[in-house]
Amino acid sequence: MFDFAVFGSLFLTLFVIMDPPGITPIFLALTAGRPAKVQRRMAWQAATVAFGVITIFGICGKQILNYLHITTPALMIAGGLLLLLVALDLLTGKSEEPKQTKDVNVALVPLGMPLLAGPGAIVSVILAVQRADSLAGQVSVWCAIAAIHVVLWLVMRNSLHIIRVIKDGGVVLVTRLAGMMLSALAVQQIINGITQVIAGHH
């Protein structure tokens, strides 16, 4: 009743796209300077939001995109631009926003979406759900989706120990590094989107 091949392939795909180890510095940069309790809550919230978004798109993503006439490349380019904005924030160190607003936002945007539940993950899930025709296939797909979010949550939660070790100077460094990686990721996503548009026109 369980398709391990389907589970494995989707889990690996999402692992590569959502990249738990790669999220760590970005998560630390975005949650820096919060009390430990808040940081742990944000890890939980980010994973939950990502799971929610992915679930919605998994169930009715094709319909949403068709209804709004959004192509996959458009989704990729939009996600890329969003990430680029966040990356520039991290790089320029404009993190001196009022704490209250930041507490609300960062676990949801950009952490939950579009960082974790980004265009790549959303599209992979939509395709996987469509491809899984049997009940076993569907169960495996949803188990894989749940599993990767548990992994993400655990990685983010445990990455908070790292921040205790590297202290404030380290956090600044991590923030800049995260900004660099994120901007590269964002640009790559935009390029992929544009490439697909061009390929589609030929």
Per-residue pLDDT reduced to its tens digit, 52-92 = 999 999 999 989 989 999 888 888 898 889 888 888 888 88
Mean pLDDT of 19-27: 87
Residue 174 token pair: 């991590």
Q: What is the pLDDT of residue 75?
A: 87
Q: What is the pLDDT of residue 97?
A: 47
Average pLDDT of the chain, as a whole number: 87
Report the residue count for the chain.
202
The band of 98, judged by pLDDT with boundaries at 50, 70 and 90, is: very low
Q: What is the pLDDT of residue 162?
A: 80
CB-based burial label for 197 (10 Å; 0-12, 13-18, 19+)? middle
155 pLDDT above the threshold of 80: yes
| Distance, CA of 106 to CA of 38 (rounded, Å) | 11
Mean pLDDT of 107-134: 88
CB distance 54 to 145 below 8 Å: yes
